[in-house]
Chain A
Amino acid sequence: MTITIETQTDQPLLELKDLRTHFHTFAGVVKAVNGVSFKIGAGEIMGLVGESGGGKSVVGFSILGLIESPGKIEGGEILFDGEDLAKASDERLREIRGRDISMVFQDPMTSLNPLHTVGDQMDEVLRLHSNLDADARKQACIKMLESVGISQAEERLKAYPHQFSGGMRQRVVIAIAMLAQPRLIIADEPTTALDVTIQSQILKLMRQQIADNGASMILVTHDLAVVSEMADHITVLYCGQVVEQGKTRDIIESPSHPYTRGLIDSIPDPTDRMARLNQIPGNVPDIRNLPKGCNFRARCPRAQDLCAEQEPTLKPQHNSLVSACHFPLQPGEK
């Protein structure tokens, strides 16, 4: 890799421009990601939220070049520090993966190799991405395990994944992800499989690791509560497209897109207990066969004739928000 040049402060660490990742299946083309753009600055946490099938995980996989056939990045740019990863060779991507960008997966039970010790799996990262000797690598691994809160780290390096509990395994996965001091971490539902007391431990740990290393993070999750406690910015996806973006507080307090409003209102709010939850009617439409116009219109309480004819584009709204809606909500409007 070339010498790191001081990046200008206004250049984002990662910029997605109109990313399109499609899957060519026998049943038709699944446009899982269909024109997604966003930016993340150094040290920022971006929350990527949406329901199942929104395309949020595919965005994460696309950035790392982990899309396999029948999936394909059909267009758009993934600018990481100015370099377009969508056009990068496999070799170059392998260099970047684990060193500059690393990933934390949802399921700590399956993302570690059961046949290798934790120490081997940690060592692999440093063997590939550093020129430290064996002893220094081991010391680095021990230090990393300790910093994620695993005691007797030296002993535990010899243990296999099945000898750890779920929470401990997720700590190991985070330790592996942080080991090469990456500049960007993509965390795909990192705490969804964990219990709530363990979740709060892991979230705290991730926040601290990111602050200590000055890294950025994309936090992919369906849980708005987790995002609202962790992220600086939120991007809401629906049917593979961005429907709303903005600063976390602005989105949570007063979203402009009816889908975001619906997601927030679906969460039972302990401070304001109503007899009924405000539900979003219906289901996510079939992504192979999206309706004309706005994808959300069949479930939207504000839909009008225009929504069936013309697809809304992203437009600036109040505060820091940008959203794709013909009839956006005004501040304070329900």
Chain B
Amino acid sequence: MAHFTHISVQTQDFDFAHEYQKLRDSNSSDGALVTFVGLVRDLNLQQAVSGLFLEHYPAMTEKVLNNIVEKARTKWQLGSVSIIHRVGQLQVSEQIVFVGVTSQHRQSAYHGNEFIMDYLKTQAPFWKKETTNQGDKWIAAKASDMEKSKGW
């Protein structure tokens, strides 16, 4: 039993229960565990979406995710941290991303998890292309995401 940082960029799906259990098993001193899962939704800007293609910059992605975790650890006392991000072709309702964080108390776990997601959205080199009923379309970055990550 020891705290860990786990980062994985993968094409295959992940098993939420398994990831949750690994975080629980990593120690018995943390009383809080917060998880976030991002899913492919079927509507974006009024167009029906049937799927999503996720591209990334392999040499850079894990490096950035590690840096984000390191930064979060300087702000809050985090125990174990797990990030899984999928790439490749995904269908509607599939899982895209998992972020799980343990901490002694809930506030650090909530904040740490949210911080990691906010930074991931603006710093990690992933790009989404939607398959819609009007053809494929690259998703534009949202100014609101940029503002949110600046807020920390």
Is chain B found bound to chain A in the same assembly? no
